[in-house]
Structure 1
């Protein structure tokens, strides 16, 4: 007769192990409540007989359940209680040992699962290892305490995938759209320090990178910012430079027309845009956040997101500079220009830039050249997105995805009656293994739909676990 161990291997049934376990529990209780040697032997024999009658290999857990029942049949409840407690403690030890082994293996850089889990993290770096250590503890707590057993089982069997269990223990959300406009226009607070409205485009870019780093350290998903929120500060810099140039010309005795002053100031504006865009590019890829990686950032380039006029033209200037710098790339440690991983870029195709005679057609040409060389930006069709994302007011909306690919649902803010996207986030992800549903149905369509409904219910309950976890 065989039994199935927890490792999945089969071994020969050994009655002496049952007798030893019951005897240890028996010795933990007072003498008057103990079982006799004959009773312990009878319990063991009864379990063996039941196992033989099953005509299959039982698991260790099933056999332990039988032992508990047999002890209680003899009304030895104190012994049963000790046996159950011992069994529980052993289960905790096994689980803790598993976590310990996972942590030690990642510290020695021989944990293949961790190496392949996230290409944005280098598992040999100390800060990354610390994040992975915390992640292993979170996974353990999630499986043992925070998720219902059937959801854990479905995840481990590959029926569904409960993403980011390494962060689930904390009250953290996934991806977001950064409300950079609010932070820049109204000021913000970073690390208990008041940050007021910036007085130049480059300062706005610097604040944006600091906000990006803080956000990346407080969530586990990607984030998106829009150049439309930075574009108004080009005019702030322009007005500052016009005043500076006028003062410099007056102090140096240079007689220049207002047109010439603005021309010189515009040269400084373009240099300011170049420095600001370069700051975002290099800060994003060199900053190290608390989760051991560079921030996963997407930059959204949508010309019609700002009103027509100077601000839109300034947004076009910033967009052009972003595309040209991405085409150039950044230097690696050998001094060779390469394609940086971040920020991701999204360029929106719209009526103002898809026709050869349109005002911003030149930007689409530059974007195409950038795609040919660097495989970015990604593209969104304003026309198609507005057909697919219609809000409660009946208006089509065009807005960025969060980080890489997740889009928010259309939403009208009840306080303003207007659409709201920036400042919202994604609570987390659960994936359904649709292939397994099909394979499990055995080509029976009725069975397919029945299994699919069951699995979708699992996914919904898993997602609600995320919702309630965030609520606290």
Structure 2
């Protein structure tokens, strides 16, 4: 029989209080992080003992796969999200999703209010989700609120937001919320004829009318990041993602692009989305967890990329496959076995997510009504195969890593094999399957530790 006492040994709590825990670099050693770690341990054990079949729990414990965010499997099973600030521009903000326990704000009338809402939205949503929070096309959608403002006023508002995101010390276990912000250098062509919403949620023309304001907000954001905080340290959040498009990579935008390169040179903090390839279509967005959403799911950029995100991912231990396999055929047999485990786990997690949304009513921010729909679009969220250690797998199989042409070719073949499985699953289930390279500092260490013992 499986051990059923949930909790953490007393001596572990003593050590935790005295020495802290190093699993998460974003968390300080304080009462909140101690409380979070103890609760996490109990909830991880609950997921392994009560929610997962024995073969899935064993596969995780043995290190064949890694089931991320086990502590959130039961009550907070949805991972990350890309928000649509237009929703709150039009309808106002209930940070608890209902207004029963917090004050309710109407449609914002001033840029400063919208800056505050931006931070509150991402902080509130992280109370319902296990992963990061992002916003895309943000400076375009906010641009109508900058009309008639001086540049100094715009910059002051943006500074307020950036400091808010880095000082809202209220996320889980004394963290600031993990946030991502995708900025545009100008209004993308596909948005120019879209209805623009301004103060009080009123229609104010189209976004083509707000090109200048879009550019000023981006510049203010970049200059704020470039200045750092009062001591010159970089602002760690949001992960700032600049979108490179053919229509804005021109001499007209050269000064803005150079400023972002200056930010990259100083802090190395800029991310870029390359929208030049044809496969990108009109819209693609990213988050810190490496989730990518593109308008290739339904073909509607709004449905595919906003108010949804990654539901969950399970990571495959690639190096172990290399240690276990005697030939190429065995590699693909192990890939099949590990992917089967991941699929079963992810389907259970999605089922739990639906229960939390619809039956248990414990995710009210995500479930809140927007017109005729819920805010969070679970039907467009991704279920993902993660992987780590491709190079180490190839080292084991070939004696050399990805720098070796034969090893490199085989590595690509393995990734294509996983990606083909994701495509087949899309056809079989009607759900949005994908593949990502896991951000796996602690997962990779855990795999390596278990593999060292076994091999």
TM-score of the superposition, structure 1-length normalised? Answer: 0.66
The reply to whether residue 121 of structure 1 matches residue 2 of structure 2 is no
> Whole-Å Cα distance in 1 between the matches of residues 11 and 65 of structure 2?
25
The reply to whether residue 378 of structure 1 matches residue 259 of structure 2 is no
Counterparts of 1:375-454 in structure 2, within 5 Å, are: 375-384=268-277, 387-389=278-280, 396-408=281-293, 410=295, 419-442=303-326, 444-454=327-337
Per the alignment, do residues 403 and 471 of structure 1 end up closer, same or farther by CA in structure 2, a change over 3 Å counting? same
Task: Verify the 8 A CA contact 2:143 2:213 in the aligned structure 1.
Answer: yes
Per the alignment, residue 249 of structure 2 pairs with 354
Given candidates 300, 314, 322, the residue that maps to 2:213 is 314
Gap runs ≥5 in structure 1 = 1-86, 239-267, 390-395
> Whole-Å Cα distance in 1 between the matches of residues 117 and 350 of structure 2?
31
Q: Once the 2 structures are TM-superposed, how far is the Cα of residue 178 of structure 1 from its aligned partner?
A: 0.9
Counterparts of 1:5-84 in structure 2, within 5 Å, are: none
Q: Which moved more, 1:125-134 or 1:100-109?
A: 100-109
The reply to whether residue 273 of structure 1 matches residue 154 of structure 2 is yes
Per the alignment, residue 228 of structure 1 pairs with 140
Per the alignment, residue 404 of structure 2 pairs with none
Task: Verify the 8 A CA contact 1:232 1:311 in the aligned structure 2.
Answer: yes
> Whole-Å Cα distance in 2 between the matches of residues 418 and 209 of structure 1?
21
> Whole-Å Cα distance in 2 between the matches of residues 229 and 131 of structure 1?
36
3-state SS, counterpart of residue 337 of structure 1: coil
Counterparts of 1:108-187 in structure 2, within 5 Å, are: 108-110=18-20, 114-115=21-22, 117-122=23-28, 124-187=29-92
3-state SS, counterpart of residue 451 of structure 1: helix
3-state SS, counterpart of residue 427 of structure 1: strand
Cα deviations by residue, 1:4-59 (Å, 9 ceiling, x for unpaired): xxxxxxxxxxxxxxxxxxxxxxxxxxxxxxxxxxxxxxxxxxxxxxxxxxxxxxxx
Q: Once the 2 structures are TM-superposed, how far is the Cα of residue 404 of structure 1 from its aligned partner?
A: 4.2
Per the alignment, residue 345 of structure 2 pairs with 462
3-state SS, counterpart of residue 312 of structure 2: coil
Q: Once the 2 structures are TM-superposed, how far is the Cα of residue 289 of structure 1 from its aligned partner?
A: 2.6
3-state SS, counterpart of residue 276 of structure 2: helix
TM-score of the superposition, structure 2-length normalised? Answer: 0.68
Task: Point out the structure with the larger strand share.
Answer: 2
Indicate the structure whose relative CO is greater, using CA pairs within 8 Å and at least 6 residues apart. 2
Q: Once the 2 structures are TM-superposed, how far is the Cα of residue 311 of structure 1 from its aligned partner?
A: 1.1
Per the alignment, do residues 299 and 418 of structure 1 end up closer, same or farther by CA in structure 2, a change over 3 Å counting? closer
Task: Verify the 8 A CA contact 1:176 1:403 in the aligned structure 2.
Answer: no
Task: Point out the structure with the larger helix share.
Answer: 1
Counterparts of 1:194-209 in structure 2, within 5 Å, are: 194-209=104-119
The reply to whether residue 285 of structure 1 matches residue 166 of structure 2 is yes
> Whole-Å Cα distance in 2 between the matches of residues 419 and 209 of structure 1?
23
Q: Once the 2 structures are TM-superposed, how far is the Cα of residue 151 of structure 1 from its aligned partner?
A: 1.3
Q: Which moved more, 1:287-296 or 1:98-107?
A: 98-107
Per the alignment, residue 189 of structure 1 pairs with 94
Q: Once the 2 structures are TM-superposed, how far is the Cα of residue 411 of structure 1 from its aligned partner?
A: 5.6
Task: Verify the 8 A CA contact 1:352 1:361 in the aligned structure 2.
Answer: no
> Whole-Å Cα distance in 1 between the matches of residues 350 and 6 of structure 2?
27
> Whole-Å Cα distance in 1 between the matches of residues 345 and 336 of structure 2?
14
> Whole-Å Cα distance in 1 between the matches of residues 60 and 229 of structure 2?
40
Task: Verify the 8 A CA contact 1:297 1:343 in the aligned structure 2.
Answer: yes
> Whole-Å Cα distance in 1 between the matches of residues 298 and 330 of structure 2?
42
The size of the alignment, in residue pairs, is 330
Per the alignment, do residues 450 and 350 of structure 1 end up closer, same or farther by CA in structure 2, a change over 3 Å counting? same
Q: Once the 2 structures are TM-superposed, how far is the Cα of residue 186 of structure 1 from its aligned partner?
A: 2.5
Task: Verify the 8 A CA contact 2:44 2:70 in the aligned structure 1.
Answer: yes
Counterparts of 1:319-330 in structure 2, within 5 Å, are: 319-330=218-229
Cα deviations by residue, 1:308-361 (Å, 9 ceiling, x for unpaired): 644121110000011111111002xxxx21112111111111223323x2x222
Q: Once the 2 structures are TM-superposed, how far is the Cα of residue 96 of structure 1 from its aligned partner?
A: 4.0
> Whole-Å Cα distance in 2 between the matches of residues 437 and 176 of structure 1?
32
Q: Once the 2 structures are TM-superposed, how far is the Cα of residue 294 of structure 1 from its aligned partner?
A: 0.4
